[in-house]
């Protein structure tokens, strides 16, 4: 569980990128691995929920796990969503608003470059099916760096990505996620001002530490995480740790 500064607790947050057959280990898990992980959650009496839902129902933190996916990969729609829906789970997917329907272009690393992203139609359909669409900026910029070099542009990445996604969805976008986990105090302030209600970073939750709603910690899951370690985290959370 995650303890907030205001004394409330919310469910722990898992953080995924891709879910696809033959996916390179550092960037994701296979559908089979993903299914095993989700089944393990269910066999421990836990349900996968969106970040928005996790913040609203703070009373049942041990019985839920917040599932988040970064970047909005098309393979999430094709492979992860059917598994989640089979189990009655939902998740939050953080999309890069100016890159919907294109290929990833923010990294030169062949592991991350040229990967298909969901288009407006898929994003809209997922929202209609109970998934939450959150913002991951307009172009997947590093807000830690950009806030210092070009503050106006950084602010636009935060504000305009919300507007652009809301135009696609026709409903409010309330969750934000910092690409690369990069942020500054000013960037956090803009995230609040833009109207988001919560934001996830990439740092791990620490015992005994409390967190602000705009720098929520998480546990990243890739193909490099052995199943026993995934199971270990889930058991700890299930005990209320």
Contact indicator for 32, 210 with CB cutoff of 8 Å = no
The 8-class DSSP code of residue 179 comes to G
To Zn ion, the closest distance from the beta carbon of 142 in angstroms equals 10
In the complex with Zn ion, the residue whose CB is nearer, 93 or 234, is: 93
181 in contact with Zn ion (CB under 5 A): no
Tokens linked to 114: 């040229």
Report if residue 164 touches Zn ion, rule: CB under 5 A. no
| Total residues interacting with Zn ion, rule: CB under 5 A | 3
Query: Cβ closer to Zn ion: 179 or 217?
Result: 179
Q: Which residues pair with 177 in a beta bridge?
A: 200
Where do we find the tokens 């959370």? Answer: 237
Tokens of 101: 């329907």
Shortest Cβ 64–Zn ion spacing (Å): 24
With binding defined as CB under 5 A, does residue 72 bind Zn ion? Answer: no
- Among the residue ranges 6-14, 62-70, 108-116, 200-208, the one whose residues contact Zn ion (CB under 5 A): 62-70
Q: What is the residue-wise DSSP string for 8-58? A: -EE--EEEE-EE-TT--GGGEE-HHHHHHHHHHHHHTT-EEE-HHHHHH-G
Stretch that binds Zn ion, among 7-15, 60-68, 149-157, 178-186 (CB under 5 A): 178-186
Q: Which of 33, 70, 75, 132 binds Zn ion (CB under 5 A)?
A: 70
- What count of other Cβ atoms lies within 10 Å of the Cβ of residue 228? 7
Note whether 75 binds Zn ion by CB under 5 A.
no
Residue 142 binds Zn ion (CB under 5 A): no
**Token duo for residue 217:** 């910690």
In whole angstroms, how close is the CB of 179 to Zn ion at the nearest point? Answer: 5
Which C-beta is closer to Zn ion: that of 70 or that of 164?
Answer: 70
Please tell me whether residue 53 binds Zn ion under the rule CB under 5 A.
Answer: no
Q: For Zn ion, which stretch binds (CB under 5 A), given 43-51, 71-79, 186-194, 199-207? A: 71-79
Alpha-carbon distance of 239 to 241, in angstroms, equals 6
* Nearest residue relative to Zn ion (C-beta): 70
Q: What is the DSSP letter of 141?
A: -
Distance (Å, whole) CA 238 – CA 135: 29
Q: Under the rule (CB under 5 A), what is the footprint of Zn ion?
A: 70-71, 179
């Amino acid at each position: 569980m995650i303890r907030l500064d205001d004394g409330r607790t919310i469910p722990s947050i898992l953080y995924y990128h891709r879910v696809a057959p033959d996916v390179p280990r550092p960037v994701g898990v296979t559908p089979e691995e993903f299914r095993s992980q989700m089944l393990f959650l269910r066999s421990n009496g836990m349900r996968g929920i969106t970040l928005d839902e996790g913040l609203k129902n703070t009373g049942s933190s041990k019985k839920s796990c917040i599932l988040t996916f970064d970047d909005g990969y098309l393979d999430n729609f094709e492979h992860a969503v059917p598994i989640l829906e089979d189990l009655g789970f939902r998740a939050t997917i953080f999309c890069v608003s100016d890159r919907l329907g294109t290929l990833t272009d923010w990294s030169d690393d062949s592991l991350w470059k040229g990967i298909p992203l969901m288009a407006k139609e898929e994003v809209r359909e997922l929202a209609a099916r109970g998934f939450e669409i959150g913002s991951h900026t307009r172009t997947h910029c590093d807000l830690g760096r950009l806030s210092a070099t070009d503050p106006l542009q950084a602010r636009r990445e935060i504000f305009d990505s919300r507007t652009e996604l809301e135009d696609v969805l026709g409903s409010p976008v309330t969750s934000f996620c910092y690409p690369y986990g990069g942020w500054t105090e000013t960037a956090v302030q803009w995230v609040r001002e833009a109207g988001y209600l919560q934001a996830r970073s990439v740092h791990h939750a620490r015992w005994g530490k409390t967190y602000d709603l705009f720098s929520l910690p998480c546990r990243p899951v890739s193909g490099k995480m052995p199943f026993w370690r995934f199971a270990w985290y889930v058991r700890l959370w299930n005990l209320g740790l």
